[in-house]
């Protein structure tokens, strides 16, 4: 069974600090990895994707991938109250038709 | 910016009734998906569809479920005889198939089975 595991949280971080979210995946064949943000009752919103080992930065967000450890992380710098949401880690295989396998999500709360 | 649309936004039905959830994927996309999310649980894959046929389906996608692309724009999910446990958010997604492109999700249909 291919799994993506995340700590469910809640993770509470003060405004302006760095929020660090982590996940692990079980399928070594996974090729691409995603971080989605989901507000209650809404659909997942893509924040970043990464498929190469190392870091990928986009504004306040940095995704990190370590395929040897099967580990993906997301750093949010200068956290804002609007960043409060559930963050879903997800993975997909090589095929164009590959399904996305989601983790259960980490609830992030940014306290003013 | 093109987006995936879904109708209705909320569907209430009686147990045993048939429902059809509709999606309009992004126009030049080739791969289509349905996912569902039961309240408080993770987003789960149901089915993928390419070239007018199912590419992959999960264990959840049993004989009560079917998908169809009846014309060049719509992609539908039919549940023949709904059960209480079918109550969930259903998300449609589409993908172009270009390298590096991800799946784009619609806003979802909340299905409530009474």
Query: What's the N-to-C CA distance of chain A in angstroms?
Result: 40
> Which residues in A lie closer than 8 A to residue B95 (C-beta atoms)?
96
Which pLDDT tens digit goes with each residue over A23-64?
999 988 888 999 999 999 899 999 999 989 999 999 999 999
Kindly give the parts of chain B with pLDDT less than 70. 100
- Flag whether residue A35 sits within 8 Å of chain B, measured between CB atoms: no
d(CA B7, CA B23): 6
The whole-number pLDDT of residue A96 equals 65
Which pLDDT tens digit goes with each residue over A50-105?
989 999 999 999 999 999 999 999 999 999 999 999 999 999 877 766 889 999 99
Burial of A30 (0-12, 13-18, 19+ CB in 10 A): buried
* Nearest CB neighbour to B45, from listed A45, A46, A99: A99
Give me the residues of A, 61-100, that contact B with CB < 8 A: 88, 90, 96-100
- CA distances in angstroms from A91 to A2, A23, A110, B49, listed in the order given: 10, 10, 26, 18
Tokens (6 digits) for A39: 């507000």
């Amino acid at each position: 069974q291919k799994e993506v595991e995340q700590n469910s949280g809640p993770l509470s971080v003060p405004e302006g600090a760095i929020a660090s979210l982590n996940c692990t995946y079980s399928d070594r064949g996974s090729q691409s990895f995603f971080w989605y943000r989901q507000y209650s009752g809404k659909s997942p919103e893509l924040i970043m994707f990464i498929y190469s080992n190392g870091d990928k930065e986009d504004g306040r967000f940095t995704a990190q991938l370590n395929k040897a450890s099967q580990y993906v992380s997301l750093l949010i710098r200068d956290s804002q109250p609007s960043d409060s949401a559930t963050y879903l880690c997800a993975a997909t295989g090589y095929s164009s038709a590959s399904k996305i396998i989601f983790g259960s999500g980490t609830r992030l709360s940014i306290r003013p | 910016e093109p987006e995936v649309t879904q109708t209705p936004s909320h569907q209430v039905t009686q147990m045993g009734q048939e429902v059809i959830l509709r999606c309009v994927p992004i126009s030049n996309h080739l791969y289509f998906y349905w996912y569902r999310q039961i309240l408080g649980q993770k987003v789960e894959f149901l089915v993928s569809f390419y070239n007018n046929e199912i590419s992959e389906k999960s264990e959840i996608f049993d004989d009560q479920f079917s998908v169809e692309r009846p014309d060049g724009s719509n992609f539908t999910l039919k549940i023949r005889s709904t059960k209480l446990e079918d109550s969930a958010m259903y998300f449609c997604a589409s993908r172009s198939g270009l390298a590096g492109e991800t799946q784009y999700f619609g806003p979802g249909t909340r299905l409530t089975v009474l």
